[in-house]
Structure 1
Amino acid sequence: MAARIVVALACMVVMIRLSKAAIYKVGGSAGWTTIANVDYKLWASNKTFHIGDTVLFQYNPQFHNVMRVTHEMYRNCNNSKPISTFTTGNDSVTLTNHGHHFFFCGVPGHCQAGQKLDVNVIHPTSSTPLSDPPISSDSSSPSSPPSTTTIPAAGVPGPSPSHAASLPNVAAAVVALLVSYLFANFAY
């Protein structure tokens, strides 16, 4: 009986951590643009990104896009072969692993003008406290449902955009199945 309680509590801790993932609107209130002179490097440096967090790119799709690229492409603003391209103007990317994730606007001249972003997802450690995600003007829920894509860190090809279930929903389903299995098979 004690083992079941420990397993159930451990599962609850995992679910709580995943359910507290933050949503960061890239560029804060200015969004993804060249007009507002947003320093995206500074914007990202003020945040601690974790696995399960989401970066939301909101922009006018007539003038901008978002390209996910390798580090080399990012450094050189080379938009010839992006890993993925987003064009809806309301693109949501869930960060599923640690490491750097590189993005820029593929419209000629925009990356060179500073419309580029390096998101570094910290490596998970056992000492990471379970705390609420940051609450600021940069962490908000979108007013309309964004286009959601889950991608790995740069250097690993990402999947094409899909409408797959979010990480917290998948985790909740897996935990629920695990708990029900344990209770069914280890009942006294």
Structure 2
Amino acid sequence: MAHGRSCLFLACLVAASVSSTASAFVFKAGGTGEWRVPAEPSGGNTSAYNAWAQRNRFRVGDAIAFSYQPGNDSVLLVDKKAYDACDTSAPIDTFADGNTVFTFTRSGPFYFISGNKDNCNRNEKLIVVVMAERAVAGNGTEPASPFSPSSPPPPIGIEISPTAHPRPNAAAPKAAGVAGMAALSIGALFYALV
């Protein structure tokens, strides 16, 4: 019986450490990272890049990678007005190294266009909307999920030594999110088996 409680406690510890460590994800622009004029228009006013971006969830701390031929193209961070007009004259920031990785430091929309106005007019442009952090009662904000929609799923098993007997303390960790629920389920399963 005590062994089952030890397993449950260990599962909670694992869940607390996983759920408290939010990690960022680096997305490849358009899914491939290649920054170029899309091969085929996706229809309507939505570029192929925007159709891709709408299928993903971006969070503060995530990044996006653009790969292109330096000297032939660049990535411009612009405002909405410049994005709509493909105005390359006054960007917020310019990237021309061929391998740009841009990190999202705030929530809200980010507008990227090609530094080549003709390419931008042919839908080499992208709007990324970064999700706001959700507020939760009592502690300010909920941490971002450590697992991105396109990242691999977490490992299914955890190794638990049958001889380890961790001592519970008064400050038991708080299990939160999907990882917490998974660890609690695993702990309950071990508890039932013992």
Normalised by the shorter chain, which TM-score bucket? Answer: 0.5 to 0.7
Instruction: Report the equivalent of 1:27.
Output: 30
Task: Note the 1:172-187 alignment, pairs <5 A.
Answer: none
Task: Note the 1:32-181 alignment, pairs <5 A.
Answer: 32-34=35-37, 36-37=39-40, 39-126=48-135, 130-135=145-150
**Equivalents in 1 of 2:126, 2:133: separation in Å?**
21
Which fold has the larger relative contact order, with Cα–Cα distance below 8 Å and residues 6 or more apart in sequence? 2
Structure 1's unaligned 5+ residue stretches are: 1-10, 138-188
**What residue identity is the alignment partner of 2:25?**
A
8 Å contact kept, 2:30–2:49: yes
Shift of 1:130: 2.9
- Find the structure with the greater CA-based Rg: 2
Deviations along 1:25-84, one digit per CA (max 9) or x if unpaired, are 102226111153470110100101000000101111132100000111101111111111
SS in 1 for 2:87: coil
SS in 2 for 1:91: strand
Give runs of ≥4 in structure 1 deviating > 4 Å.
11-15
**Equivalents in 2 of 1:90, 1:135: separation in Å?**
21
SS in 2 for 1:41: helix
**Equivalents in 1 of 2:111, 2:38: separation in Å?**
21
8 Å contact kept, 2:87–2:117: no
Question: Per the alignment, do residues 35 and 61 of structure 1 end up closer, same or farther by CA in structure 2, a change over 3 Å counting?
Answer: farther
8 Å contact kept, 1:22–1:134: no
**Equivalents in 2 of 1:124, 1:65: separation in Å?**
30
Relative to structure 2, which stretch is displaced further, 38-47 or 64-73? 38-47
What percent identity do the matched residue pairs reach?
A: 31
Instruction: Report the equivalent of 1:5.
Output: none
**What residue identity is the alignment partner of 2:21?**
I
